[in-house]
């Protein structure tokens, strides 16, 4: 099924990086990604202070850059927030919204994540909408209900055409930064559920890219990306090392062949 869709691998640097250290990582990722086939898309979502550096070093390469959050507002008296339009000024392509760390530490509701997704789309960005359940929710059998609610709150605000332009990342909270990865079949089952929900929104939406995120590493990426409804990955820790990140990108390429 997924063989017709492109693969996408996006790094989430979280709050890591220093201007002095980023240059090597960005340059190495750009160089390595140039050898990938064009159906493998690559992005890195960096902290906002490094957008100009990313634009300077990645501009003209196949690697796109992005932000890890956007404001739900277009502008105004919202101290500390960053508008999607400001990201656009730096040539940004991707905007992660609804990462579990923002839902947990900043109390972002499903409705707020929906509003952020809409703002990102209206600014011309591609939102990467994160959904995922905690371990407690999984163990109580609530996975589909939790991620269904998270996705519904986003889709409710979007037209079919807008919804076709989002990327959804399934990131089980218990797998993020823990070294515990969902088993490929376990992840595939959730992705198939998400695919059905997208399909209900409209035929065009069913082909939105669905990423898996949560302790993806070079040694587990290939099997995950080979699943029918897993179109790539959102990569945290392993995106900070060019060698590991590029190996994961190559695993996406292998899964396409
Ligand atoms: C993430 O933060 O989006 C993530 C998937 O992190 P990690 O790969 O480190 O688990």
In a domain, 240, yes or no: yes
Evaluate: CB of 171 within 6 angstroms of ligand 1. yes
Binned at pLDDT 50, 70 and 90, residue 80 comes out as very high
- Kindly state the average pLDDT of the residues 111-118: 98
Residue 4: predicted pLDDT: 65
Instruction: Give the position of tokens 């160089």.
Output: 31
**Per-residue pLDDT at 190 exceeds 50:** yes
Residue 180: predicted pLDDT: 85
How many degrees, rounded to 5, is the angle at CA 248 between CA 128 and CA 180? 75
**Per-residue pLDDT at 9 exceeds 60:** yes
Query: How many distinct structural domains can be found in the chain?
Result: 1
Domain limits for position 144: 7-256
Report the nearest atom of ligand 1 relative to the CA of 130: 3
The helix (H) or strand (E) run that includes residue 212 is: strand 210-213
Residue 114 Cα to ligand 1 middle (Å): 21
In a domain, 115, yes or no: yes
Of all protein residues, the one whose alpha carbon is nearest to atom 2 of ligand 1 is: 236
Residue 1: predicted pLDDT: 45
Residue 187: predicted pLDDT: 97
Evaluate: CB of 176 within 6 angstroms of ligand 1. yes
Binned at pLDDT 50, 70 and 90, residue 2 comes out as very low
Of all protein residues, the one whose alpha carbon is nearest to atom 1 of ligand 1 is: 236
Residue 3: predicted pLDDT: 42
Catalytic residues: 99, 171
pLDDT tens string 171-186: 999 999 888 888 999 9
Residue 39 Cα to ligand 1 middle (Å): 23
Residue 181: predicted pLDDT: 85
Q: What is the DSSP letter of 24?
A: H
- Single pTM value for the model: 0.97
Using CA atoms, how far apart are residues 214 and 235, in angstroms rounded to an integer?
A: 7
Using CA atoms, how far apart are residues 35 and 20, in angstroms rounded to an integer?
A: 26
Residue 218 Cα to ligand 1 middle (Å): 13
Evaluate: CB of 95 within 6 angstroms of ligand 1. no
In a domain, 215, yes or no: yes
Short-list 201, 199, 208, 224, CA closest to 166: 208
List the CATH number of the domain containing 90: 3.20.20.70
* Rounded percentage of the chain residues whose pLDDT exceeds 70: 98
Which tokens is 196 given? 């059905």
In a domain, 175, yes or no: yes
Using CA atoms, how far apart are residues 224 and 164, in angstroms rounded to an integer?
A: 23
In a domain, 2, yes or no: no
Which tokens is 204 given? 């065009």
Using CA atoms, how far apart are residues 143 and 139, in angstroms rounded to an integer?
A: 8
Evaluate: CB of 96 within 6 angstroms of ligand 1. no
Residue 4 Cα to ligand 1 middle (Å): 26
In a domain, 1, yes or no: no
55-63, long-range: CB within 8 Å, 24+ apart, which pairs? 55/90, 55/91, 57/22, 57/23, 57/26, 57/27, 57/30, 58/26, 58/29, 58/30, 59/91, 61/30, 61/33, 61/34, 62/30, 62/33, 62/34, 62/36, 62/38, 63/26, 63/29, 63/30, 63/33
Report the nearest atom of ligand 1 relative to the CA of 235: 8
Strand ranges, E, within 46-137 = 63-67, 94-97, 126-131
In a domain, 159, yes or no: yes
- Kindly state the average pLDDT of the residues 21-40: 96
Task: Among 176, 179, 180, 238, name the best residue to mutate to test ligand 1's pocket (greatest count of ligand atoms within 8 A of Cβ).
Answer: 176
* Least confident interval from 3-17, 44-58, 181-195, 198-212: 3-17
Which tokens is 173 given? 């909270």
Q: What is the DSSP letter of 228?
A: T
Using CA atoms, how far apart are residues 81 and 196, in angstroms rounded to an integer?
A: 34
């Amino acid at each position: 099924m997924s063989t017709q869709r492109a693969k996408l691998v996006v790094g989430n640097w979280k709050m890591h990086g220093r201007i002095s250290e980023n240059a090597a990582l960005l340059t190495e990722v750009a160089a390595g990604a140039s050898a990938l086939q064009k159906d493998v898309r690559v992005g890195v979502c960096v902290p906002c202070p490094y957008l100009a550096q990313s634009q300077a070093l990645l501009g003209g390469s196949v690697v796109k850059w992005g932000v890890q959050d956007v404001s739900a507002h277009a502008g105004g008296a919202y101290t500390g927030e960053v508008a999607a339009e400001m990201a656009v000024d730096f040539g940004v392509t991707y905007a992660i919204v609804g990462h579990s760390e923002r839902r947990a530490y900043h109390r972002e509701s499903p409705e707020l994540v929906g509003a952020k997704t809409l703002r990102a789309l209206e600014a011309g960005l591609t939102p990467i909408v994160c959904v995922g359940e905690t371990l407690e929710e999984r163990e109580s059998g609530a996975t589909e209900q939790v991620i269904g609610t998270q996705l519904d709150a986003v889709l409710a605000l979007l037209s079919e055409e807008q919804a076709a332009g989002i990327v959804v990342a399934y990131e089980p909270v218990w797998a993020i930064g823990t070294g515990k990865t969902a088993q490929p079949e376990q992840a595939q089952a959730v992705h198939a559920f998400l695919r059905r929900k997208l399909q209900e929104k409209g035929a065009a939406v069913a082909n939105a890219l669905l990423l898996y995120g949560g302790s993806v590493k070079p040694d587990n990426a290939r099997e995950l990306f080979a699943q029918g409804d897993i179109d790539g990955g959102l990569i945290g820790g392993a995106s900070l090392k060019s060698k590991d990140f590029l190996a994961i990108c190559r695993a996406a390429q292998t899964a396409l062949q």
